[in-house]
Amino acid sequence: MSAFEIDLVALEHGDVELTQRVLREIKRRSPGDPERFLDGPGTVAFAATVETEPVGWAYGYILDRPDGHRMMLLYEMEVARAWRRRGIGRQLVRAFRQRAIDSGCNTMWLITEDSNVDAQLLYQLEGATPEGARLQFAWRDLRLDQPDL
């Protein structure tokens, strides 16, 4: 394996081009509205690049609770298949943890699939503690034109 240097870029207002590239190259999705995403309240996002090419990314949100506590939700993290097992995920998790600390968060959390054993190991190696089984519920395809229940 040749030597490479990973650069972590905190994606912020104005980083539209890199965000678009991450979405196309890592997520294989159309970019949508990166400006709205980047300017969203509490949005935190990092791109991992090697020689300016996106190889991974993570995003989440700082959530302010009514009891005065803040928490960081690491919503999604992905490393391009060819770049896995090279420490990129670890660097992304550490960047999120540091941003959480710098932002006054007292908790950082995420949800992962039971089958994603590699991710679970990474999170535990980085100090996270599994907190039992959880069910995830979702309301999908919400429409404004649906009648009130």
What is the per-residue pLDDT across 48-82, written as a single tens digit (0 to 9) for each?
999 999 999 999 999 999 999 999 999 999 999 99
Its pTM stands at 0.88
Contacts of residue 122, Cβ cutoff 8 Å, sequence gap at least 6: 89, 90, 93
Listing DSSP states for 94-133 in one string gives HHHHHHHHHTT-SEEE----TT-HHHHHHHHHTT------
Quick one: which of 100, 84, 116, 87 has its CA closest to 8? 87
- Alpha helices per DSSP H over the chain: 16-25, 34-38, 88-102, 117-125
82 Cα distance to chain centroid: 19
CATH code of the region 6-125:
3.40.630.30
**pLDDT of res. 149:** 58
**Cα angle vertex 112, ends 86, 58, to 5°?**
50
Rg (CA), the chain: 17
Token pair in block for residue 105: 């968060």
Asked if 109 contacts 65 with a C-beta cutoff of 8 angstroms, the reply is no
What whole-number percentage of the chain has pLDDT above 90? 79
For residue range 123-140, what is the model confidence (pLDDT) as tens digits?
A: 999 999 999 877 778 888
Contacts of residue 4, Cβ cutoff 8 Å, sequence gap at least 6: 50, 51, 86
Q: Give 2's pLDDT tier (boundaries 50, 70, 90).
A: low
Q: Which comes out higher in pLDDT, residue 145 or 51?
A: 51
Of 18-22, 68-72, 113-117, 132-136, where does mean pLDDT reach its minimum? 132-136
Q: In what helix (H) or strand (E) does residue 70 lie, and over which residues does it extend?
A: strand 70-79
